Amino acid sequence: QVQLVESGGGSVQAGGSLRLSCAASGDTYSLASMAWFRQAPGKEREGVAGLDNYGRTRYGDFVNGRFTISKDNAKNTLYLQMNSLKPEDTAMYYCASERRVLGVRLLMGNEYRYWGQGTQVTVSS
């Protein structure tokens, strides 16, 4: 069993920054690959950033260097530093984990069994 709890969401103005956290607990083997996804109302879920078993990262095309995914293994916590936020970044953000997800699959939601409840990010213009 794995539990994922996101935090750090909120409301910011365009150009601002937020850092999301995802506190993980449970079967550590299932925390080896982790990722952030988001879903805006009326839109499909999309992969934001992923971190695989070997520490390699992958980002959605829309990120364009604005976000950074990282993980503190000692704390079992995943982070997403988001800078230069835009109104189109407004969405519910979720973290997900799985034992082994590599390459382009890092940003595919159906690769992950474990999901958090989400944290809302709202960016105003």
CA distance 24 to 32: 11
Give strand ranges (E) for the chain.
Answer: 2-7, 10-13, 18-26, 33-39, 46-51, 57-59, 67-72, 77-82, 91-98, 114-115, 119-124
Q: What is the mean pLDDT of residues 31-58?
A: 96
In the predicted model, is pLDDT for residue 27 greater than 90? Answer: no
CA distance 115 to 29: 15
pLDDT for 104: 92
| Mean pLDDT score of the chain | 96
Q: 87-99, pLDDT tens digit by residue?
A: 999 999 999 999 9
CA distance 57 to 102: 9
CA distance 66 to 63: 6
If pLDDT is split at 50, 70 and 90, which confidence band does 72 have?
very high
Contact assessment for residue 109 and residue 95, using Cβ atoms and an 8 Å cutoff: no
CA distance 76 to 41: 30
Q: 105-121, pLDDT tens digit by residue?
A: 999 999 999 999 999 99
Instruction: Identify the bridge partners of residue 23 per DSSP, sorted by sequence position.
Output: 5, 77
pLDDT for 101: 93
pLDDT for 67: 98
